[in-house]
Structure 1
Amino acid sequence: MAAAREAFAKLKAIDIHVHAEVSCHDPEDPIFGEFADAATHYFKAPRRRPTIPETIAYYRERQIGFVMFTVDMEAGTGIKRIRNEEIAQAAADNSDIMIAFASIDPHKGKRGAMEARDLIENHGVRGFKFHPPIQNFDPGGRMAWPLYEVIDHYKLPVIFHTGHSGMGSGMPAGGGIRLKYGQPMLIDDVAVDFPDMKIILAHPGWPWTDESLSMALHKPNIFIDLSGWSPRYFPEQIIRYANGQLGHKFLFGSDFPLIPPGKWIAAFDEAGFKPHLRDPVLRDNALNLLFGKDDA
């Protein structure tokens, strides 16, 4: 762990929010293709998504570390997931720059909890990703508790999508995605019942931004990643609280491949964050969350 922390500390930044959308083994799921088409239009991003090896090369060239995951949304959408093991193996082969988080649909119950334990113990997975709107579950409901119990036992971090969903935007019925499950306050019970699980609220959480800020102020185990939006469009309270009480709680995340990290960082530098926050937000806060604080 110390060697990995040292390697990541030498990088320019750590992107906590990078998606794997193209498998090296399986063809694109046709239902996912419909969502990808809509997201391409919404984010004005290229339709062709990079493979996992292409993403690794992209981040290595820029000397940026990253956390990668897929989203297991098989129950909510019928989309076949990219295998967690594929991402975990890529991270093991590139451990100086890449960390694997897993995604397991909470509808899988105890079977999903058993898979989570195996991924942690045998595949080196270092955290988990949930997207309640697209996975069609209430994050504060008991269905996900078996998964949370495993994650909490190993004291691993977890990323929850919060706020509006670019996925499904513009599709008929929003692609069937229920935005209500993206309300940050639904996760407050999780933070109370699983205090050893570091919870990252992904995105500024709009239109519930103030809920995310309140939770990060109140709970030591809650953090906020700033992915999914260009910093030029952040609600003003994000910058105000970063410059004040919550500078240690914000994490750089891009939402790659929909938002390139270089473009995000350039906008961050112009958004009004105090200069002394640049390294903490871009790298050091994630370094402490993922590897623990350096007491040297």
Structure 2
Amino acid sequence: MCARILDCLKAGLWGRHNMISGYKIVDGHVHTYATDKIAHRIIQAFNEIYDIKFENPGTGSIEDVRSNMNKEGIDYTVMANFAPPKILHKNNLWSLEASKNNKGLVPLVSFHPEMEGALTELLEDYIERGARGIKFHPMAQGFEPGHKGIESIYDFCNETGFPIVFHCGRVSNARLNEYSDLDMILPLIEKYKEIPFVLTHMADGDRQAVVSLSRSYDNVFFDTSIVITGYPSIMDVNEPSWLDDQTVIETVNEIGAHRMLFGSDYPWGSPGHDIKRFLKMNLSRQQKELILGLNSIKLFKIE
């Protein structure tokens, strides 16, 4: 692998520390769009497909995300974007450009077996442009995680330790196919031991699976989005949501705070509500620092 690619992986992004909460905060799971008009169109279509009935707390446009970051004291936002295969390369380039033009935005890129071109060459180019990880949403993108068409991506990531974020589980109780089920992702976790895998939504809110995976695999992490939330609309409609703080505290203490990354899934989740919930929990300051920001900073090499 060329030296400049490794340099890009090590370089990181330099940013600010927003002192509103007294913590460095990274929202590790946000979907962003170029304009409010585009955002409204995509959100409406997504909500209809997955029968999501609550009102979104924002639009996810760059302007909206930046405003929300300033309001809630968020230092960095990880853009976990994906798109259909025909426009996926264009969408990746847009995410990378948006991060260059907007301080504090950290880009992930996505792939699909039907993408044209040599995927590893694309990934190397994306990394040179600032990509910090990969986001897969197999259920929404419509492919099996173990598809042979993306094996080269896993090989590359295993060689370099480049992180992969997997949507894991349903979407607001809707399950269009089995492609994002934990059983579909587990063979990859077992095979590629050097890839840091992040399972969103606390592995579909399955506490037993979270504990078991954390004991069996050192390369598995979990994001808190939707399942560990403080946003009333989600708490009312999403199951399972861990409504009892004690469930969260026991899980943190059992698996270790270093295995959890704060994420909101904005503009479906609300980072402001979720941050406030974590700040009020009976966790140590060190545990909160790790979950709210430091774990993402280390994993995605943000600083």
Q: TM-score normalised by the shorter chain: which range applies?
A: 0.7 to 0.9
1:90 aligns to 2:101 (yes or no): no
Whether the aligned pair in 1 keeps the contact of 2:112 and 2:143 (CA below 8 Å) is: no
Q: CA deviation at 1:49?
A: 1.7
1:137 CA displacement: 2.2
Among 43, 57, 77, the residue aligned to 1:66: 77
Question: Which of 132, 156, 162 is residue 156 of structure 1 equivalent to?
Answer: 162
CA distance in 1, matches of 2:214, 2:298: 16
Aligned to 1:128: 134
Aligned partner of 1:286 among 261, 275, 296: 296
Count of residue pairs the alignment pairs up: 278
* CA deviation profile, 1:104-134 (whole Å, cap 9, x unmatched): 223337644432222112x211111001111
Cα–Cα, structure 1 residues 28 and 207, in superposed 2: closer, same or farther, change >3 Å? closer
User: What do residues 217-258 of structure 1 show as CA deviations (whole Å, max 9, x unaligned)?
Assistant: 221111000112343631775542212332210110001111
CA distance in 2 between counterparts of 1:29 and 1:116 reads 29
* Deviation string, structure 1 residues 138-167 (Cα, Å, up to 9, x no partner): 22343431222233333211110001223x
Moved more, 213-222 or 144-153: 144-153
1:94-243 alignment runs, 5 A limit? 94-95=102-103, 97-108=104-115, 111-121=118-128, 123-166=129-172, 169=174, 177-178=176-177, 180-206=178-204, 208-231=206-229, 233-234=241-242, 238-243=248-253
The correspondence for 1:13, drawn from 1, 18, 25, is 25
Deviations 1:65-93 (A, max 9, x none): 11013112348xxx878711111112123
1:43 is displaced (CA, Å) by: 4.1
TM-superposed CA distance for 1:189, in Å, is 2.4
Relative distance call for 1:61 and 1:143 in structure 2 (3 A) is same
Q: CA RMSD in A?
A: 3.4
Conservation of the 8 A alpha-carbon contact between 1:230 and 1:264: yes
Runs of 4+ in 1 over 6 A off after TM superposition: 28-32, 79-82
Aligned to 1:248: 258
Q: Tell whether 2:263 aligns with 1:265.
A: no
Output the CA distance in 1 between the equivalents of 2:42 and 2:254.
43
Counterpart in 2 of 1:23? 34
Structure 2 CA distance for aligned equivalents of residues 273 and 256 of structure 1: 24
Q: Which has the higher mean CA deviation after the structures are superposed, 103-112 or 277-286?
A: 103-112
User: Conserved in 2, the CA contact under 8 Å of 1:19 and 1:69?
Assistant: yes
Structure 2: distance between partners of 1:155 and 1:288? 12
Report the alpha carbon displacement of residue 275 of structure 1 after superposing the two structures with TM: 5.3
Contact 2:59 2:267 in 1 (8 A): yes
2:38 and 2:53 map into 1 onto residues whose CA distance is 23
Q: Give distance in 1, aligned partners of 2:43 and 2:118.
A: 24
Distance (Å, rounded) in 2 between the aligned partners of 1:152 and 1:94: 30
For normalisation by structure 1, the TM-score amounts to 0.78
> What whole-Å deviation, never above 9, does each CA across 1:30-57 have from its counterpart, x for those lacking one?
67642244668434325x6231233123
Opposite residue 201 of structure 2, the aligned amino acid is H
State the secondary structure of the residue aligned to 1:285.
helix
* Worse overlay, 4-13 or 149-158: 4-13
Task: Sort the Cα spacing of 1:279 and 1:32 in 2 relative to 1 into closer, same or farther, 3 A.
Answer: closer
Distance 1:50 1:135, change over 3 A: closer
Instruction: Say whether the 8 Å CA contact 2:24–2:294 is kept in structure 1.
Output: no
Change (3 A) 1:23 1:81: farther
Whether the 8 Å CA contact 1:9–1:284 is kept in 2: the answer is no
> Tell me, which stretches of 5 or more residues in structure 1 are unaligned?
none
